[in-house]
C-alpha cells in the first residue's frame, strides 16, 4: 500500500500522540537537568550512575503490582495519574534547587519518588497506543508513537538545558507545567476501552500470581523473551548517554548547552529514523534488522568513547539514537502484538523491569566503570560488550534472529515458532 492509500487515523490517536510528545519532552528535560544539577554538586561520574539506580529500584520492586493494575483499570487514567505524579516531582526539584543546594542526597530521594511514579505509569502508557489503534493500523500507530516520543527527546533536552544555563531552578518549574498539560490532554481522551480484564480479587497475592503468569508467558515465548533480553544486555553495557555531562565537560570542553545538544542528538537520530518507519513501516526481515541495528548501536558507542571532537561525538550520538530507534520500534511492535490483550499490562510491566534495568542500571554500570577504567575506557568497554551480546544472541536465539514478519509474532505465531 502506498503512502497516499494509507487510511487516515482517528482523532483520538493524534491527541494521544500529542500528549506523548509533551510528556516525553518533559521527561527528557527532567533527566537532562537533574544530571546537570547532580554533576554540578558532586563533579563525579558515579553520581550520574546513582541517579539511574534510584530510578530503577522502584521499578524492580513494584512491577508485579503495576502490571496487574494496568490490566485491571483504565490505562488512560493510570497514565494521566502518573503524569500528575511527575508534576509533584518537578515541583519538589524546583523547591530544592532554588535553595542553592550543596547536598546530593535529597535529589536521589526525589528521583526515587520519580521511579515509583514511573513504575506504575509505564505499563499502562506503553499499552495505550496498541489499545487505541485501529486493528489494521497498529504497526503505523506504534511507529508514530515512537516518533512523537523521540521528537520529545529532541525538544526537551535542548529547551531545558537552555533554561538551566539561564537559571538553575527555572526549568523545574516549567517542567511541572509541561507535565500538567499532559495530564489535561490524557484526561480529555476517550477511555481506552481496556479495563478490568482480569478476574480474581485484587491484592498482593493475586498480583504475584498475575506477575508469575506473565513471566511464564515471556519464558515460553522465545521471540518476546529474546527481544526483551537483547535490549537489556545491549543497553546495560552501552548506557553511555548517562555520562554525557561528564563527557561534555572532561573530553569535549562544552557546557550545559552542549550537553543539551548531545542529549537532543539521540532524539534527532531516533526521530529521523522513526519518521521513515512511520511512512514506510518495516514489514520483512524483522529479526536480522534488529540484530544489525543493535550492532550499529554498539559501534557508535565505541566512537563516542574514543573521540574528543564535539562534531564527531554529535554524529556518533545521532547514529546511536537512530539505531536504537530501530530496536525500540521492533520491540515496541513485537512485544504487545505477541501478547494477549488480557496479559499486556503484566508482560509490559515485566518488560519495564528489564528495560529499566538496561537504561537505569546501564547508567549505574557506566558510572561505576568510569570510576574504575576512566571515562573513555568505560564507554569503549560498553560498546564492545554490546557487539559481543549481538553475536551471542545471533547464535543462541535463532527464533528471534530469523523472524520475518511482525504477524509471525502474534500469539499463535509465537506458538508456531516454538513448535518449529
> Which CATH number does the domain housing residue 21 bear?
1.20.1250.20
Using the predicted structure, report yes or no on whether residue 296 has a pLDDT greater than 80: yes
User: Which pLDDT score, from 0 to 100, does residue 418 have?
Assistant: 36
Is residue 262 within 8 Å of 134, Cβ to Cβ?
no
Q: Quickly state the pLDDT bin for 207 (edges 50, 70, 90).
A: low
For cell 557506566, the residue is: 366
Using the predicted structure, report yes or no on whether residue 54 has a pLDDT greater than 90: no
User: Which pLDDT score, from 0 to 100, does residue 206 have?
Assistant: 66
Average pLDDT of the segment spanning 356-366: 64
- Give the tens place of pLDDT for each residue, 69-85: 777 778 888 899 999 99
Using the predicted structure, report yes or no on whether residue 153 has a pLDDT greater than 80: no
For cell 560488550, the residue is: 385
Using the predicted structure, report yes or no on whether residue 316 has a pLDDT greater than 60: yes
Q: What is the rounded CA–CA span in Å between residue 390 and residue 395? A: 9
User: Which pLDDT score, from 0 to 100, does residue 381 have?
Assistant: 84
Give percent of the chain with pLDDT exceeding 70: 81
Q: Quickly state the pLDDT bin for 163 (edges 50, 70, 90).
A: very high
Domain total in the chain: 1
Using the predicted structure, report yes or no on whether residue 402 has a pLDDT greater than 80: no
User: Which pLDDT score, from 0 to 100, does residue 120 have?
Assistant: 86
Using the predicted structure, report yes or no on whether residue 202 has a pLDDT greater than 60: no
User: Which pLDDT score, from 0 to 100, does residue 238 have?
Assistant: 65
User: Which pLDDT score, from 0 to 100, does residue 353 have?
Assistant: 66
User: Which pLDDT score, from 0 to 100, does residue 127 have?
Assistant: 78
Q: What is the rounded CA–CA span in Å between residue 184 and residue 7? A: 28
Q: Specify the DSSP class assigned to residue 197.
A: -
User: Which pLDDT score, from 0 to 100, does residue 6 have?
Assistant: 54
Using the predicted structure, report yes or no on whether residue 420 has a pLDDT greater than 60: no
Using the predicted structure, report yes or no on whether residue 50 has a pLDDT greater than 60: yes
Decide which of 342 and 127 is more confident: 127
- Give the tens place of pLDDT for each residue, 257-286: 888 888 788 878 877 887 787 677 777 787
Q: Which of 195, 248, 231, 185 shows the shortest CA–CA distance to 72?
A: 195
Q: 210-219, 346-355, 385-394, 400-409: which has the highest mean pLDDT?
A: 385-394
| Length, in residues, of the chain | 420
User: Which pLDDT score, from 0 to 100, does residue 192 have?
Assistant: 53
Q: What is the rounded CA–CA span in Å between residue 24 and residue 32? A: 12
Mean pLDDT, rounded, of the chain: 79
Q: List, as own/partner pairs, every contact residues 252-258 make where C-beta atoms lie below 8 angstroms and the sequence separation is at least 24, other chains included.
A: 252/308, 252/309, 252/310, 252/313, 253/310, 254/310, 255/165, 256/36, 256/161, 256/164, 256/165, 257/161, 257/162, 257/165, 258/310
SS3 54: helix
Query: For residue 238, what are the domain limits?
Result: 3-419
Average pLDDT of the segment spanning 153-177: 90
Decide which of 189 and 68 is more confident: 189
User: Which pLDDT score, from 0 to 100, does residue 64 have?
Assistant: 65
Amino acid at each position: 500500500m502506498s503512502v497516499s492509500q494509507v487510511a487516515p487515523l482517528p482523532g483520538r490517536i493524534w491527541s494521544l500522540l500529542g500528549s506523548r510528545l509533551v510528556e516525553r519532552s518533559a521527561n527528557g528535560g527532567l533527566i537532562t537537568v537533574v544530571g546537570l544539577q547532580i554533576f554540578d554538586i558532586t563533579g563525579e561520574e558515579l553520581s550520574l550512575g546513582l541517579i539511574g539506580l534510584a530510578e530503577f529500584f522502584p521499578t524492580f520492586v513494584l512491577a508485579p503490582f503495576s502490571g496487574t493494575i494496568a490490566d485491571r483499570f483504565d490505562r488512560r487514567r493510570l497514565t494521566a495519574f502518573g503524569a500528575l505524579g511527575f508534576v509533584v516531582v518537578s515541583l519538589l526539584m524546583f523547591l530544592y534547587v532554588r535553595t542553592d543546594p550543596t547536598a546530593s542526597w535529597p535529589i536521589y530521594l526525589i528521583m526515587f519518588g520519580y521511579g515509583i511514579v514511573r513504575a506504575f505509569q509505564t505499563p499502562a502508557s506503553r499499552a495505550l497506543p496498541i489499545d487505541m489503534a485501529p486493528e489494521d493500523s497498529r504497526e503505523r500507530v506504534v511507529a508514530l508513537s515512537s516518533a512523537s516520543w523521540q521528537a520529545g527527546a529532541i525538544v526537551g533536552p535542548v529547551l531545558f538545558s537552555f533554561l538551566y544555563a539561564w537559571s538553575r531552578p527555572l526549568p523545574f518549574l516549567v517542567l511541572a507545567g509541561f507535565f500538567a498539560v499532559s495530564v489535561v490532554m490524557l484526561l480529555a481522551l476517550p477511555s481506552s476501552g481496556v479495563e478490568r480484564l482480569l478476574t480474581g480479587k485484587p491484592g498482593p497475592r493475586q498480583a504475584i500470581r498475575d506477575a508469575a503468569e506473565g513471566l511464564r508467558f515471556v519464558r515460553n515465548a522465545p521471540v518476546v523473551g529474546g527481544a526483551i533480553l537483547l535490549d537489556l544486555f545491549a543497553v546495560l553495557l552501552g548506557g553511555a548517554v548517562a555520562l554525557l555531562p561528564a563527557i561534555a565537560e572532561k573530553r569535549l570542553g562544552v557546557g550545559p548547552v552542549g550537553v543539551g545538544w548531545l542529549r537532543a542528538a539521540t532524539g534527532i537520530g531516533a526521530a529521523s529514523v522513526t519518521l521513515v518507519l512511520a511512512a514506510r513501516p518495516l514489514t520483512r526481515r524483522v529479526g536480522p534488522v534488529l540484530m544489525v541495528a543493535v550492532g550499529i548501536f554498539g559501534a557508535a558507542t565505541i566512537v563516542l568513547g574514543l573521540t574528543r571532537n564535539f562534531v564527531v561525538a554529535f554524529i556518533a550520538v545521532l547514529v546511536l539514537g537512530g539505531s536504537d530507534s530501530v530496536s525500540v520500534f521492533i520491540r515496541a511492535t513485537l512485544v504487545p502484538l505477541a501478547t494477549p490483550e488480557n496479559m499486556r499490562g503484566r508482560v509490559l510491566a515485566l518488560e519495564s523491569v528489564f528495560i529499566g534495568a538496561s537504561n537505569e542500571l546501564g547508567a549505574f554500570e557506566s558510572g561505576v566503570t568510569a570510576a574504575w577504567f576512566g571515562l573513555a575506557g568505560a564507554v569503549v568497554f560498553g560498546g564492545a560488550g554490546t557487539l559481543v551480546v549481538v553475536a551471542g544472541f545471533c547464535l543462541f536465539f535463532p527464533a528471534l534472529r530469523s523472524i520475518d514478519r511482525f504477524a509471525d509474532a502474534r500469539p499463535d505465531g509465537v506458538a508456531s515458532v516454538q513448535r518449529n
